[in-house]
């Protein structure tokens, strides 16, 4: 069983997700969002933050679960930009254990690893660069 340190773990609805702590920029309270016409259901809108326009993704909707109603979001910075994921609860930085295999071969699940085990339960670890690329190409 592999151990991986330093993941910011957060909940969206009932599901737990993790992002590498080095790429978790901050947790913010969401302001009013600007809707994006024709955007997919999981893209809730965008907001301006420190001179950057940040898209807000409901990760629960993206993976096919229920929406995770929240006024908070985890900002994740990747090489190509920043994304905000809605968070109904932020659990903090944790060490996760388990085999971090892809959780699927297609769609968003190809960019989730796990299930990893954390103090609060099973965690789907987000592959930041892969997910950003997937979303940038209409995913």
- In the chain, the percentage of residues whose pLDDT exceeds 70 is 93
pLDDT for 50:
92
Residue with tokens 């809108």: 45
**Residue 3: beta bridge partners?**
97
Q: Which residue has the higher pLDDT, 39 or 80?
A: 39
91-108 average pLDDT score: 88
**What pairing do the DSSP bridges indicate for beta strands 81-86 and 52-57?**
parallel
pLDDT for 53:
95
Q: Taking all residues of the chain, what is their mean pLDDT, rounded to a whole number?
A: 88
pLDDT for 64:
79
Task: Give pTM, 2 decimals.
Answer: 0.88
pLDDT for 3:
57
Q: What is the DSSP string of 9-37?
A: EEEETTEEEEEEGGGEEEEEE--PPBP-T
pLDDT for 119:
82
Answer whether residue 121 shows pLDDT above 60: yes
Q: Which superfamily is assigned to 3-136 in CATH?
A: CheA-289, Domain 4 (2.40.50.180)
Answer whether residue 1 shows pLDDT above 70: no
- In the chain, the percentage of residues whose pLDDT exceeds 90 is 53
């Amino acid at each position: 069983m592999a151990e991986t340190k330093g993941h910011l773990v957060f909940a969206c609805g009932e599901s737990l997700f993790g992002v590498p702590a080095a790429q978790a920029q901050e947790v913010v309270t969401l302001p009013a969002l600007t809707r994006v016409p024709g955007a997919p259901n999981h893209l809730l809108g965008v907001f301006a933050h420190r001179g950057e326009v940040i898209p807000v993704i409901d990760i629960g909707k993206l993976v096919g679960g229920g929406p995770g109603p929240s006024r908070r979001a985890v900002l994740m910075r990747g090489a190509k930009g920043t994304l905000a994921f809605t968070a109904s609860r932020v659990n903090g930085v944790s060490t996760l254990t388990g085999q971090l295999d892809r959780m699927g071969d297609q769609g968003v699940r190809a960019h989730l690893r796990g299930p990893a085990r954390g103090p609060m339960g099973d965690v789907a670890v987000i592959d930041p660069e892969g997910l950003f690329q997937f979303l940038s190409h209409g995913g």
